[in-house]
Amino acid sequence: MKVIIYYISGHGYGHFTRSATIMKALLDGGVADRIVARTRVSMDVFEQTLPPPPYYSSTSTTSSTNSNSHTRTSSKSKSKSKSKSKILRSEPPYELDAGTVQSSPLDVDPIGTLCEHNRIFHKSCLDDILKGEMEFVSSLLTLVCDNGYSEEEERTNNGTTTRTSTDADTIVAILCDATPIGIEIAHQINVPGILISNFDWCGIYDGFLRHIPSTTTDDNDEEDDNSTTTTTTTTLLFRQECQTALTTANNMYRKATVVIRPRAAVSSPVGYEEEYGRRTRVMDTPWICPEVLRRPRQSDDEDKEDGEECGGGTDELDAIVAVQRNRLELALFGDDDDDDNDGGDCEIRRCIVLVTFGGQPGSVGDNSTNEGTSDDDKLLKNSPLEHPHEEDGNVNEKSTTTTTPTVAAKPILQLGFIFATNDANAQVQIQRTQPQPQPQQSPTITHNNNTNTNTTTTPAITAKQAIQLLQITPTSPPTTIAELTNLCDVVLCKPGYGTICETLASSHGGNNNTSMVYVRREPEFVEKTFLLREFERGGGVGVRLDRSLFEGRRWYDAIEEALEKKVRGGGGNVVQNELTGAEVITEILRKEVMATTI
């Protein structure tokens, strides 16, 4: 049995979502029979993201501590039956990378992050981690056996061959996204160590070094000399510690057999092309997009022959999407009744907004109850005069003239929200107290939100509630966040790999018209520049919202602008072969595994 260990950062949303897509592709392609996900990502994210059985099953599992005390593994409770899951979860009792230290989804602490990285990669701590991981790897084959097949289970090949599973259990590769710890372990046990990520942490932390206070000082009074000297010495020592820790991580990354960089890869200071025992190959791939968003789509202008080539499956899938969308609209807005949804002479457009700031602690905004939008609620246009930030990529921005022809009245947006955040329940309660945003001089929009007798407030539900609504039968696979993205009109988010990729994939062809409204992290995260640039190249439609407007829940103008840009012709340029990173990676790993097992 071919086993792959997959080290996955527990920080953020994109690391695990793309890893889940890759794991399924590797299993489908026969590159691995079992994959052990070594990660501290939350169990909720783990279960909501992975594909259903036989890939992963959470039924009758329990967290138990392995005898070596270096791992906590999701394993079958003691019973005669064994879990047949092909993907197993193993949680280390320590962090494998520092990620980013954040007080909220939008507030990054560069100095705190560097301190945590220094702690993990200090020799004494790192030695303990590496020792624990080597013990984990040593016990891994027994762990896989206990969670998959009994040691004496018979397997037949054409009805003749019988052998035990442990005879064929082999660790064929170690994959990492994006910790270098797994690369070091692979180097020590002499199996391919492969980094799969659009960045390495050295590339992220290198930019954080500029936040270390400068050691240059002006001449001060003599009484301040001692304190200045002490501060300068402390700063110098801290900078040296950072450089030492980064060098240690750098050397680990350079031991990778292959570095696979999906679309929107961040520049790295790691010298992968330099010789370090064996040369590292760097390979670029398309976006790693969830399979559910890569199904064939049929646009309105495609002829009947195109539909027949898909065997009629496209129409059926589009019908399912339409039914799912209708369920969400009913839950948020109630029945489509003219008497209950009267906008006078204006067209009313229902708009579902998915709010997702996953992977980090803290609220998505403040808890103030805002009175809605006002005349001075200004959406940042990212124009060169107002906001000269070229690194934003000017996401599909189109210049506007000062004079516009007379047009029909704009549709009035009727907003409903789905919160996919760590504090989703609290955010839903807050949002339900907000008045339904109204344009100036518009008729009052009324709707039924099923939970509040005040029909002018804004309807909102959690992502978990939405997933339950879309569950067709108790045994059908649950809806993922990627599928929710596909069913919504706008995603309100911070720019991260998973959200950017899923929004881009959901913005092309057929009924898919998902746009993005994003808020910057502070200080700016270097990954954002590369993500937004590729998002624009793929035809994504995005609008930046100022943080003060975001925290005041004054979102209407930004959402309206994102929808208008889509109508004006933005988006829709991404093609299917730009979303097939998982399949490309599968073929790369197939060659690596074959080369080491021959």
Residue 548 lies in a domain: yes
Residue 118 lies in a domain: no
Digit-coded pLDDT (tens) for 235-271:
999 999 999 999 999 999 999 999 999 999 999 999 8
Same domain, 482 and 571: yes
Tokens 């804004």 belong to residue: 458
Digit-coded pLDDT (tens) for 360-398:
555 675 444 333 333 333 333 333 323 333 344 445 444
CA count, 13 A, side-chain hemisphere, 387:
17
CA–CA separation, 69 vs 543, rounded Å?
48
CA–CA separation, 376 vs 392, rounded Å?
24
Please give the residue range of the domain that contains residue 508.
299-400+407-575
CATH number at 180 reads 3.40.50
**CA-wise closest residue to 3 among 32, 28, 29, 24:** 32
Same domain, 487 and 593: no
Residue 24 lies in a domain: yes
CA–CA separation, 15 vs 197, rounded Å?
8
Residue 294 lies in a domain: no
Which H helix or E strand runs over 64?
Answer: strand 61-65
Same domain, 149 and 257: yes
Residue 440 lies in a domain: yes
Which H helix or E strand runs over 147?
Answer: helix 123-147
Residue 551 lies in a domain: yes
CB atoms within 10 A of CB 448: 17
Same domain, 59 and 88: yes
Domains in the chain, number: 2
Same domain, 268 and 412: no
CA count, 13 A, side-chain hemisphere, 489:
23
Single-letter amino acid, residue 468: Q
Tokens 């996401």 belong to residue: 395
Residue 181 lies in a domain: yes
Residue 114 lies in a domain: no
Same domain, 259 and 317: no
CA–CA separation, 149 vs 580, rounded Å?
32
Same domain, 347 and 265: no
DSSP string, 235-296: HHHHHHHHHHHHHHHHHHHTT-SEEEE-SSPPP--S-TTS-SSSPPEEEE---B--GGGSS-
Same domain, 321 and 466: yes
Per-residue pLDDT of the chain (598 residues; tens, 9 = 90+): 899 999 999 987 889 999 999 999 999 999 999 999 999 998 888 888 888 888 997 643 334 344 444 555 554 434 334 457 899 999 999 999 999 999 888 999 999 999 999 999 999 999 999 999 999 999 887 666 666 543 334 343 344 333 344 445 799 999 999 999 999 999 999 999 999 999 999 999 999 999 999 865 555 555 566 666 777 889 999 999 999 999 999 999 999 999 999 999 999 999 887 655 556 899 999 999 998 887 654 443 443 344 344 344 567 777 888 899 999 999 999 976 544 445 556 788 899 999 998 655 556 754 443 333 333 333 333 333 233 333 444 454 443 344 445 555 677 899 999 999 989 999 999 999 988 866 544 545 544 444 433 446 899 999 999 999 998 777 777 788 899 999 999 999 999 999 999 999 987 644 457 999 999 999 988 999 999 999 988 889 999 999 999 999 999 999 999 999 887 765 555 677 889 999 999 999 999 988 877 6
Q: Kindly report the three-state secondary structure assignment for every residue of 425-443.
A: HHHHHHHCCCECCCCCCCC
Same domain, 547 and 585: no
CA–CA separation, 397 vs 387, rounded Å?
12
Same domain, 273 and 369: no
Same domain, 349 and 415: yes
Same domain, 438 and 552: yes
